[in-house]
Amino acid sequence: MDTYQITTHTVEETIQLAEKLAILLKPGDVITLEGDLGAGKTTFTKGIAVGLGVKRNVTSPTFTIIKEYEGELPLYHMDVYRLEHSDEDIGFDEYFNGDGICIVEWARFIQDYLPQNRLEITISYINEHSRELAFTAWGDHFKYVLNELQL
Amino acid sequence: MKKDTILLGIETSCDETAVAIVKNGREILANVVASQIDSHKRFGGVVPEIASRHHVEQITYVLEEARQQSNTVWEDIDGIAVTEGPGLVGALLVGVNAAKALAFAKQKPLIGVHHIAGHIYANRLEKEFEFPLLALIVSGGHTELVLMKSHGAYELIGETRDDAAGEAYDKVARMLQLPYPGGPQIDRLAELGEEAIDFPRAWLEQNSYDFSFSGLKSSVINTIHNAKQRGKELRKEDIAASFQASVIDVLTTKTVRAAKEFDVKQVIIAGGVAANRGLRSALEAEFAKTSIPLLIPPLNLCTDNAAMIAAAGTIAFEQGRRSGLELNARPSLLLK
């Protein structure tokens, strides 16, 4: 397990970091995002989408749980907050072993379904514009991704 | 004399199992809705897997009830309209498969309908459309401004770039520890509160009809946190009133501006948030100053129902549009 922490000072900086990460991803990659309401989970995902060449605007998936986007790789954006008390599998395997990138907000609510190899990102609020991003890489592929991200 | 068109509509995109039978796209012969809201309340939101299971349990009963209420026989039905998207995939699939089975077994044309087109056409059950018209759709999953120049033609002129208005309501309600669904709770509290906090309004670029509620959500969080750090407790009523004022201000201002720019003959409001009293009265007050008629459907047609799907489907049916039996649930379907 490797870790990496960085502080961003503007929304643009956060989005750029996400774009840089997106380029390093491959089909079937799973990224989990933790952070309080308003921390910037959807904003970070917007950056990933830009990096993946998604043309459509990424909006919050809270209501529908999963939103899908077409890009150079498909992007599956999930917010599983509302699955907190339901021990239900809504077909995660198909997404996690699929042909695209999965981003899971509030992933701790589906801990049992998450694949072993994944990139965990926790976004913490510092002040109105600044955020601390903590990355934890599980598995060799994500260790490589994290190394590249720091260059 | 032109024969009547009678369509059966099915809607299962979220947490309502609904079947309706509608004549000529305007007259409701039956409109049955089985709500699951009590099942989802304790989870603080719709739980997809539970929603689909409820749909499976209820669809045949709701269907039978609608058929009995309408006093129709299968020979009277000209086609089956069903919501194909957007929505929860597992929930949509139940309606889509029920519709396909019926279309196949009864040899009826099948028509896939966009959920938002349905919300717009809910208004036609009350009043005939006059074009061009502008529709503001506000619900848990949607915040959109749609311009229509003729039947069945939808031009998206504005949409949310982050959270839907209803989502912002639910998230702020979560912070205020209010029960689900958050919208009606905030609406109720807002009536008791003062607009004491000046929350931001996201106008975006000068000519944009897009919306953004994420910044407002963050501002509400920051305000609550900052007050707590200073040992002050803000009144929930005031937070609700101030938050709601910001949402309503942006929705109302942009809708009025679009209505004037496109010189529309009608403005219609659709979707669950149209039930919000604060929003209704603000829009009514603003449009009373113009000569543009404002249509807000009754509550039972604002929330998800199948009469609206049959109504929108009737237009598609009359325009000769049909779906094949390969029709599938499309969770991220775009309105065109």
> Of 1.10.3720.10, 1.10.1240.10, 3.30.420.40, 3.40.1710.10, which CATH number belongs to B6-121+302-318?
3.30.420.40
DSSP letter (8 states) at residue B323? B
In this structure, which topology does domain B131-296 adopt according to CATH?
Nucleotidyltransferase; domain 5 (3.30.420)
Is B332 near chain A, with CB under 8 Å?
yes
Determine, for residues A69 and B332 on separate chains, whether the beta-carbon distance falls below 8 Å. Answer: yes
Integer Rg of chain B from CA: 20
Task: Name the residue facing B49 among A37, A57, A88 (closest C-beta).
Answer: A88
Mean pLDDT for all residues in chain A: 90
Q: Which of residues 99-118 of A touch B (CB under 8 A)?
A: none
Task: Name the residue facing A37 among B46, B162, B221 (closest C-beta).
Answer: B221
Task: Name the residue facing A86 among B47, B89, B162 (closest C-beta).
Answer: B47
Determine, for residues A64 and B141 on separate chains, whether the beta-carbon distance falls below 8 Å. Answer: yes
Q: Is-same-fold flag (B6-121+302-318; B131-296)?
A: yes
- The pLDDT, as a whole number, for residue B47 is 66
What global pTM score does this model have? Answer: 0.84
Pairing label, strands B110-114, B133-138: unpaired
A147 has a pLDDT exceeding 90? yes
CA distance B213 to B105: 46
Q: How far is CA A53 from CA A23, A41, A58, B161, B333, in A?
A: 10, 19, 12, 17, 19
Place of tokens 């049959």: B310
Handedness of CA B249, B255, B259, B262 (dihedral sign): positive
pLDDT band at A88 (very low <50, low <70, confident <90, very high): low
**Residue A12 in tokens:** 């643009």
Residue pairs between chains A and B whose CB atoms are closer than 8 Å: 80
Place of tokens 């807000």: B296
From chain A, pick out residues whose CB is under 8 angstroms from the CB of B43.
82, 84-86
CA distance B266 to B264: 6
Most A CBs within 10 A among B36, B46, B167, B213, hence the mutation to make, goes to B167
- The pLDDT, as a whole number, for residue B88 is 84
From chain A, pick out residues whose CB is under 8 angstroms from the CB of B48.
65, 83, 88, 90
- The pLDDT, as a whole number, for residue A60 is 86
CA distance A69 to A105: 16
Residue A147 contacts residue A12 (beta carbons within 8 Å):
no
Residue closest to B114 by CA, chosen among B75, B158, B144, B83: B83
- The pLDDT, as a whole number, for residue A51 is 95
Degrees to nearest 5, angle at CA A49 with A31 and A57: 130
- Tell me the nearest-neighbour CA distance from B235 into chain A, angstroms: 20
Residue closest to B249 by CA, chosen among B303, B186, B195: B195
For A117, the domain range is 2-150
- Tell me the nearest-neighbour CA distance from A140 into chain B, angstroms: 33
Average pLDDT of the residues in A62-70: 83
CA distance B158 to B140: 16
Determine, for residues A37 and B175 on separate chains, whether the beta-carbon distance falls below 8 Å. Answer: yes
Residue B109: cis peptide before it, omega within 30 degrees of 0: no
Instruction: Render the burial of B244-266: b for 16+ CB within 10 Å, e for the rest.
Output: bbbbbebbbebbbebbeebebeb
- The pLDDT, as a whole number, for residue A37 is 87
- The pLDDT, as a whole number, for residue A83 is 78
- The pLDDT, as a whole number, for residue B212 is 95
Residue extents of the structural domains in chain B: 6-121+302-318, 131-296
Residue closest to A151 by CA, chosen among A56, A31, A17, A29: A17
Instruction: Render the burial of B107-127: b for 16+ CB within 10 Å, e for the rest.
Output: ebbbbbbbbbbbbbbbbbbee
Residue B294 contacts residue B281 (beta carbons within 8 Å):
no
Degrees to nearest 5, angle at CA A78 with A47 and A8: 30
Residue B23 contacts residue B327 (beta carbons within 8 Å):
no
Is B161 near chain A, with CB under 8 Å?
yes
Q: What is the DSSP string of B295-320?
A: E---HHHHSS-SHHHHHHHHHHHHTT
- The pLDDT, as a whole number, for residue B174 is 87
Residue B148 contacts residue B133 (beta carbons within 8 Å):
yes
| C-alpha of B177 from chain center | 25
**Residue B75 in tokens:** 């020979």
Determine, for residues A60 and B43 on separate chains, whether the beta-carbon distance falls below 8 Å. Answer: no
Residue closest to A109 by CA, chosen among B47, B34, B36, B55: B47
- The pLDDT, as a whole number, for residue B13 is 92
- CB under 8 Å to B28, separation ≥6 — which residues? B20, B21, B22, B125, B307
Task: Name the residue facing A37 among B44, B162, B171 (closest C-beta).
Answer: B171
Q: How far is CA A64 from CA B43, B90, B177, in A?
A: 15, 11, 22
In total, how many domains does chain A have? Answer: 1
From chain A, pick out residues whose CB is under 8 angstroms from the CB of B217.
37-38
Residue closest to B290 by CA, chosen among B154, B170, B134: B134
Is A84 near chain B, with CB under 8 Å?
yes
Print pLDDT tens along chain B (336 aa): 568 999 999 999 988 899 999 999 999 999 999 977 666 665 556 666 677 888 998 999 999 999 999 999 999 999 999 999 988 888 999 999 999 999 999 999 999 999 999 999 999 999 999 999 999 999 888 899 999 999 999 999 999 999 999 889 988 998 898 987 788 999 999 999 999 999 999 999 989 999 999 999 989 988 998 898 899 889 999 999 999 999 999 999 999 999 999 999 999 999 888 889 999 999 999 999 999 999 998 888 988 999 999 999 999 999 999 999 999 998 878 887
- The pLDDT, as a whole number, for residue B245 is 96
